[in-house]
Structure 1
Amino acid sequence: MALSLRRQILKLALPVAMQSVLISLLGMSDVFMVANLGSASVAAIGIGAKIHFVLVMVMASLGSAISVLVAQYFGRGKTDSARSILLLGMVSGLFLMLPVGLLFLTASESVLSLMSHDASMISKGASYLRITVPLLFFTHIIIAYESALRAQGETLLPLILAAVAIVINIILNYVLIHGVWLFPSLGSDGVAIASDIARGLQVLLFFGFLAVRNHSLSLTSLISARKEVHQYSKKFFMTAWPLTLNFTVWGFGSFIYHAIAATQGTDALASLSLVSPIEGLYHSLFFGFVTACAVLIGQNLGQDKFEMAKHLAKQFVIWTPIGSLFVGVAILLSSPFFLPLLIDPNESLYQLAVQLLWVMCLTFWLKVLNMTIIIGVLRAGGDSKYMVGVDMVAMYMLGIPAALLAAYYLELSYVWVYAMVLVEELAKAVLVSKRAFKGIWIKNLSD
């Protein structure tokens, strides 16, 4: 791989990876700062965060459509087209979040009672969902902007603004959870309020910085582009709908895995809630490289440089899983040092968390392989409809039934239930690898 190309990859990948790591650290702080409040609080934050994760998947699907099209239009020098795509994606997501926000405000207890009978957890989790309604809208605006900017190769501004918001969020977490200075001790509600304030500030910073720079994607530029939006609506929605369906199907399936954990007891859900942010941190380290893969392939496809796009795909598919395995081993080797700082080693929760870490760290390379092929290669060329069928087969016909079988029929310990996700990942790896080799994704969407 040429030195200039490596520099370009690192320029795109490192800021995205650093930002994703910061977000994961924020998720860890949300959970770990309430760890001393008991398993119910940890489980409440964990299940609330997982519900938000499903919704973020819907937002990310629109962000992915924005990224795919903006990368290819930007590759052809069509800035006006990129602006219209961003506006379409932003407005669509805000409308989608309206009924969800209403559900959170009126029926959050009913939703959580479907997954657990722990009254304390349900009460704390419902309060978290109600308070974080504004977070839904703030998060989508941020995802839309970050997707468009990254597709144009601008990764530093999203990183800086995210870092500022995350630092503020972590400070507010501590202050509002424990009641520092004149602030009351709000417990798990403090996590929700801190998230709302920090994300709202991040949105304002985005609008302000882009306006000062007179950027082509500033809010005033988007508003002025509203008259041209109809020219791109068909192409955007044809790109977005399979992504939205795919992300929703996958996000809901991952929520089912979490719901199965909830039925195994509060300790099982709490251990998963503790390990999930660590997994998110692991994921973040490689998400930057997958994003760089998608941007570079998308820009090359937009310029009809198909051979270069194929070369990039091959290099990323080889090296990202190898790097992931090394990181997994490093996390395992360091776990005896950091895990006792979070959980008392004498508690049963500690032993279960250690077991989950072993499964996660030794098998995450397979998830990274699938993530690279799906996000970095197939979706970069607009080949998204196929993934709906893949998730239906791999997740709903294999992975989830295997987890249910282990939990309810075989009545295995939770670590074996957690490991059943490998069934889904193995099936997915076979299906997406075959698809990538066929080269159906090699096409220019900006024509």
Structure 2
Amino acid sequence: MQSVLISLLGMSDVFMVAPLGAEAIAAIGLGAKLHFVLIMVMAGMGSAVSILVAQYHGRGDTVASQSILSLGIAAGLILLVPISVAFFAFPRQLLSLLSTDVTMIDLGVQYLRLTVPLLFFTHIIIAFESALRARAETMTPLILASGAIVMNIVLNYLLIHGIGPFPELGVAGVAIASDIARFVQVVLFLVYLSWYGHAFRLSQLINGAKVISRYVAKYARTAWPLTVNFSVWGVGTFIYHGIASKVGTDALAALSLISPIEGLYHSLFFGLVTACSVLIGQSLGRSEFDHAISLAKRFALFAPMGSMLVGLLILASTPVFLPWLLPEGTALYTLSQSLLWVMCLTFWIKVLNMTLIVGVLRAGGDAKYVLYIDMIAMWVCSIPAVLLVAFVFELSYPWIYATILVEEFVKASLVIQRARRKKWVKNLTEASNDDTYPEPAIAA
């Protein structure tokens, strides 16, 4: 539910600036995609926090969980300092690599500079949410995020269009609204955890930081392949947006319009996959290997089936919601409609990959292999294929968008094989890796 709300926030950012024109939509989409690359870095660190906290919580070691969370927050904030300086000092140069549309770049520069504080707030939130979910505490992140998201959407409306005493800021209003809402969310997290005497309240995290040196090596071993993996994948998705921008502003605007809808679709199943990761991680932390394997099989079966059903429902409702966003009969409307068809009919394979990678392989710390899978599927297969279709064969953008799916089919063939070999079935809380599930002679 929380993932759905976050996606609705992303949709509100794009949809509320839609009346301002294709350039505004493209600027928000491109700026958000740059942020997305960094969020992938944060997500890699957050995933390491989640994996280790889930297993330590399953083992009953609260001090270790506190130290891991402190370590995750500190490492991310340090990493973000030089990146945020680059975002503030060189936004035009970054955006100019991807587009020559001067109006779009000017709007994007405003957005990037104003959202630098957002990066730090977002990382702190991701770290706390990852740790809480790893302990199966999902209601607190949902409640706090819900309040912040509602505030963000309201501020979007007031600041984009200048309602009442609020100034009309356009794209800049989206950035300022996001900064305010995320800052409030961080404050609410700290106040809530302190008020209820939670194990992750600030005073306990400071105590956990005193023994942080015990866990640096283990966190680094878990975090670095995840962070590199998420970052490489995030840069790859940014390249897909860059290709769209080279095809034309309409292609970039259509992709920017479809991306939040795809994000909503993704979110419906990301919560399920996160639950899979937590449940499997806790089972592995207790060395309940057979139960973990049983959970993996069930999630891998039902998640893609649910995705196919949702895709058909989205397609059936397209004639209802798309005319609300774009005038029917325009080139942008037709292009967006084509992309929706491709997305809805093929998203099931993305959900299958997401379940096996995030919910199963990473839960057991099998992050290095996942990194290799993503490198091969995206950088060796998909990106060269997309470049070929776009700039050699010069096909229309729906064909380019469909070609991105090469990544998912290659990835599926590799992750299914890896999951069946059960290399991920291991207890990461042990001092050694000897506590692993014996691999059968013939993988089931």
Q: TM bucket by the smaller chain?
A: over 0.9
For residues 443 and 201 of structure 1, what CA distance do their matches in structure 2 show? 39
For residues 403 and 82 of structure 2, what CA distance do their matches in structure 1 show? 33
1:146 aligned to 2:146? no
Query: Residue 442 of structure 2 aligns with which residue?
Result: none
Query: Residue 85 of structure 1 aligns with which residue?
Result: 68
Q: In the alignment, residue 22 of structure 2 is paired with which amino acid?
A: S
Query: Residue 365 of structure 1 aligns with which residue?
Result: 348
What's the CA shift for 1:126? 1.0
SS of match in other structure, 2:90: helix
For residues 153 and 414 of structure 1, what CA distance do their matches in structure 2 show? 42
What's the CA shift for 1:226? 1.5
For residues 375 and 426 of structure 2, what CA distance do their matches in structure 1 show? 25
Query: Residue 434 of structure 2 aligns with which residue?
Result: none
For residues 125 and 60 of structure 1, what CA distance do their matches in structure 2 show? 24
Query: Residue 247 of structure 2 aligns with which residue?
Result: 264
Alignment of 1:54-73 (within 5 A): 54-73=37-56
Query: Residue 326 of structure 2 aligns with which residue?
Result: 343
Alignment of 1:4-403 (within 5 A): 18-403=1-386
SS of match in other structure, 1:225: helix
For residues 297 and 209 of structure 2, what CA distance do their matches in structure 1 show? 39
Q: In the alignment, residue 311 of structure 2 is paired with which amino acid?
A: G
SS of match in other structure, 2:163: coil
Q: In the alignment, residue 205 of structure 1 is paired with which amino acid?
A: L
For residues 255 and 373 of structure 1, what CA distance do their matches in structure 2 show? 23
SS of match in other structure, 2:334: helix
For residues 422 and 168 of structure 1, what CA distance do their matches in structure 2 show? 36
- Paired residue total: 430
Check the 8 A contact 2:285/2:427 in 1, yes or no: yes
For residues 209 and 60 of structure 2, what CA distance do their matches in structure 1 show? 20
Superposed CA offset, 1:319-377 (max 9, x none): 10000000000000001000000111121100000000000000000000000000000
For residues 347 and 297 of structure 1, what CA distance do their matches in structure 2 show? 48
Superposed CA offset, 1:374-415 (max 9, x none): 000000000000112111111011100111011000000000
Query: Residue 443 of structure 1 aligns with which residue?
Result: 426
Superposed CA offset, 1:59-104 (max 9, x none): 0000000000000000010011000000000100111111111001
For residues 145 and 117 of structure 2, what CA distance do their matches in structure 1 show? 17
For residues 13 and 286 of structure 2, what CA distance do their matches in structure 1 show? 43
For residues 99 and 306 of structure 1, what CA distance do their matches in structure 2 show? 42
For residues 204 and 105 of structure 2, what CA distance do their matches in structure 1 show? 44
Q: In the alignment, residue 386 of structure 1 is paired with which amino acid?
A: Y
For residues 114 and 61 of structure 1, what CA distance do their matches in structure 2 show? 26
What's the CA shift for 1:183? 1.2
SS of match in other structure, 1:344: coil
What are the ranges of 5 or more consecutive residues in structure 1 without an aligned counterpart? 1-17
For residues 221 and 134 of structure 1, what CA distance do their matches in structure 2 show? 25
- The TM-score with structure 1 as length reference comes to 0.96
- The TM-score with structure 2 as length reference comes to 0.96
Alignment of 1:405-416 (within 5 A): 405-416=388-399
Q: In the alignment, residue 257 of structure 1 is paired with which amino acid?
A: Y
Check the 8 A contact 2:64/2:208 in 1, yes or no: no
What's the CA shift for 1:220? 1.4
SS of match in other structure, 2:150: helix
Query: Residue 413 of structure 2 aligns with which residue?
Result: 430
Higher mean alpha-carbon deviation, 359-368 vs 218-227, is at: 218-227
Check the 8 A contact 2:161/2:168 in 1, yes or no: yes
